[in-house]
Amino acid sequence: MNSLAAAHIAIVSFTFLIAGTVKGVTGMGLPTVAMGVLGTLMLPAQAASLLILPSLITNVWQLLAGPGVVALVKRFWWMMAGIVVGTVFAASFIAGSGGAWAVTGLGAALTLYAVSGLLAWRFSVPPQYERRLSPLIGIVTGFITGGTGVFVVPAVPYLQALGLKKEELVQALGLSFTVSTVALAIGLARENAFAIGDINRSLLAVIPALLGMWIGQSVRERISPASFRRWFFICLLALGLQLLLRRFF
Tens of pLDDT, residues 161-190: 998 887 888 899 999 999 999 999 999 999
CA distance 87 to 20: 23
CA-angle at 174, arms to 170 and 179, nearest 5°: 155
pLDDT at 236: 85
Go through 204-239 and write b for each residue having 16 or more CB atoms within 10 A of its CB, e for each that does not.
ebbebbbbbbebbeebbeeeeeeebbeebbebbbeb
Residues 171, 63: contact at Cβ < 8 Å?
A: yes
Residues 159, 173: contact at Cβ < 8 Å?
A: yes
pLDDT at 53: 93
Point out the least confidently predicted range of 6-15, 66-75, 125-134, 188-197.
188-197
Residues 176, 151: contact at Cβ < 8 Å?
A: yes
Listed residue (206, 193, 195) closest to 87, CA to CA: 193
What's the Rg (C-alpha) of the chain? 17
pLDDT at 2: 67
pLDDT at 42: 85
90 Cβ contact partners less than 8 Å away, ≥ 6 residues apart = 142, 143, 144, 145, 146, 147, 187
Instruction: Report the domain count for the chain.
Output: 1
- Number of other CB atoms surrounding residue 133 within 10 Å: 17
CA distance 92 to 211: 33
Question: Where is pLDDT greater, at 243 or 190?
Answer: 190
CA distance 109 to 91: 16
Burial of 106: CB neighbours in 10 Å, binned 0-12, 13-18, 19+: buried
pLDDT at 239: 83
**Does position 226 have pLDDT exceeding 80, yes or no?**
no
Listed residue (168, 149, 169, 152) closest to 116, CA to CA: 152
Per-residue pLDDT band for 99 (boundaries 50, 70, 90) equals: low
pLDDT at 52: 92
User: In this predicted model, what pLDDT tens digit does every residue of 39-95 receive, in sequence order?
Assistant: 888 888 888 889 999 999 988 988 887 778 999 999 999 999 999 999 999 998 888
pLDDT at 98: 59
CA distance 42 to 21: 22
Question: Where is pLDDT greater, at 242 or 131?
Answer: 131
Whether the pTM exceeds 0.75: the reply is yes
Question: Where is pLDDT greater, at 137 or 230?
Answer: 137
CA distance 65 to 69: 9
Structural domain of 77:
3-246
